[in-house]
Amino acid sequence: MKHIAKHLLTLSLVALGLASCTEGFEEMNTDPNNPTAVPAENLLTQAEFSLSNLMWSRGLNFEFGMLMVQHFSQSEYAERSRYNQNPSNFDAIWNTFFANGMNDLQVGMQITEAYKNLNEAQRNNRIATLELLRIWAFQNVTDIWVNVPYSQSFNPTEFPNPQYDRQQDIYAGLVSEIDAALGKIRTDAPGFTTGDIYYGGDMAKWQRFGNSLKVRIGMRMADVDQATARRLVSEAFAAGVISSYEDGFHFPFQSDQRIANPFFVDNSINNRDDFTLSDVLVDAMAERNDPRIAAFANPNVAGNFVGLPYGLTDGETFALQGTASRPSTRLRSATAPAYLMTHAEMKFFEAEAIERGFITGDAAEAYNAAVAASMMQWGITDQAAVAAYLAQPINTYDAENWKTSIGMQKWIALYGNGIEAWAEWRRLDVPQLELPVAAVRTSIPVRALYPAVELGNNPSAIENAGYENEMDIKPWWDVE
């Protein structure tokens, strides 16, 4: 982990040919002092940072995901909490996913295939690592925009203007891809010995991440393709998923402001103070006597935890912004990690999978373990306090209404990870969020707008995407 700055801050030099190549790649260079390709390790590092930073960024996370699930309210410039979005808001997000993240992974695969001095097991482990990251990214892309370029992506020579695939076809592709990627992994052989910021090339941890991603893909499909969902989920849990905090898919931001936590950069470096916790979240936590509130938020000037009413006009926001609690110092720390897939999430999925009959076990036990894992993630280590929280009737697991119990606690636990919280809110329909009175749309958005860059550069594909470019088009898997 300590080498993240070295890898990220030298990548641009490598790309310009100012650093030497390794891993037997010399044969692909016409001039060894002026390399024409970047080592796969550097591409992996850059992709891990670019994608993780994007998922935790102001544009995608604070101003979109966390507003869509009403975790945040806007304390200034409140248009987006009233769903006043436009295509240009998504340009940088789209470009980062495709050009800076997944494209780097694709090129990294090609370079890895060409390495001469890798044995088969090590080559397969490296390719599997790159593939799993791209599968994770593609699932986020399709869950954000629904129908997107997939089958014709990353082949600009043949498909300079890739067509858009239906989401159900993309999911079918991701199912095949993740089975294939997991099938390549050998835990007794190394992966990337440098450049892997997440797991340092530990293939046992990559395998658990891959199985956890397989669970996430399967559970997303649970209401539309139960047979495939059952297979994916049962196989993944049997093979082993993220089962501790240490196994989590957490990106470790650094104190250097160029690679620091985006919450820190936005607030401390850019001097922005545009977000508070919403009254929806704060009131729900207060009703449950939830000790995580002190980890989620700083108290207001009066020493209380107060949420700003969600979806106000600019004038209303201005009048109340001084009364509301801001995101916590913990969340805004430079080195606070991006929690992109967690032990708590897997335990919530386990409880749901048991209720759906996909696997066997005790759903209430898994639910309690999920809440406890979330508490630990946010620094609540007093087991007596966790037990007291779960003993309150409002927090006790209700098997008759399992979707409400799991959905509500998962919505709270996913604080910080706005895009995943938004996906699970759309799938489980919990909690029942209300449309703000001042909203400029007639419903809470369930997809993002195609970006202006695609409207300009690939208009025919968007015209044939299958629907108008609106925010009320439900994902394929959202059937309720």
What CATH number has the domain bearing residue 345?
Answer: 1.25.40.390
Q: Considering the domain boundaries, does residue 222 fall inside one? A: yes
The residues near 129 (Cβ < 8 Å, ≥ 6 apart) are 44, 191, 192, 196, 201, 203, 206
Find residue 250's DSSP bridge partners. 339
Give how many domains the chain has, as a whole number.
1
Q: Considering the domain boundaries, does residue 409 fall inside one? A: yes
Size of the chain in residues: 480
User: Tens place of pLDDT for every residue, the chain, 480 residues?
Assistant: 444 555 554 443 333 332 323 333 233 333 333 345 689 999 999 999 999 999 999 999 999 999 999 999 999 999 999 999 999 999 999 999 999 999 999 999 999 999 888 999 999 999 999 999 999 999 999 999 999 999 999 999 999 999 999 999 999 999 999 999 999 999 999 999 999 999 999 999 999 999 999 999 999 999 999 999 999 999 999 999 999 999 999 999 999 999 999 999 999 999 999 999 999 999 999 999 999 999 999 999 999 999 999 999 999 999 999 999 999 999 999 999 999 999 999 999 999 999 999 999 999 999 999 999 999 999 999 999 999 999 999 999 999 999 999 999 999 999 999 999 999 999 999 999 999 999 999 999 999 999 999 999 999 999 999 999 999 999 999 997
Q: Considering the domain boundaries, does residue 314 fall inside one? A: no
Q: Considering the domain boundaries, does residue 218 fall inside one? A: yes
Q: Considering the domain boundaries, does residue 60 fall inside one? A: yes
Q: Considering the domain boundaries, does residue 404 fall inside one? A: yes
Where in the sequence is the domain holding 46, given as residue range(s)? 4-27+37-74+85-256+335-463
Q: Considering the domain boundaries, does residue 70 fall inside one? A: yes
Do 129 and 196 contact (CB within 8 A), yes or no? yes
Using a cut of 0.85, tell me whether the model's pTM lies above it: yes
Q: Considering the domain boundaries, does residue 330 fall inside one? A: no
Which of 63, 56, 420 lies closest to 259, judged by CA?
Answer: 56
Q: How far apart are CA 269 and CA 349, in angstroms?
A: 37
The residues near 216 (Cβ < 8 Å, ≥ 6 apart) are 139, 341, 345, 349
Alpha-helical segments (H) within 185-278 = 203-220, 226-239, 262-264
Helix then strand then coil, % of the chain, to nearest 5: 55, 5, 40
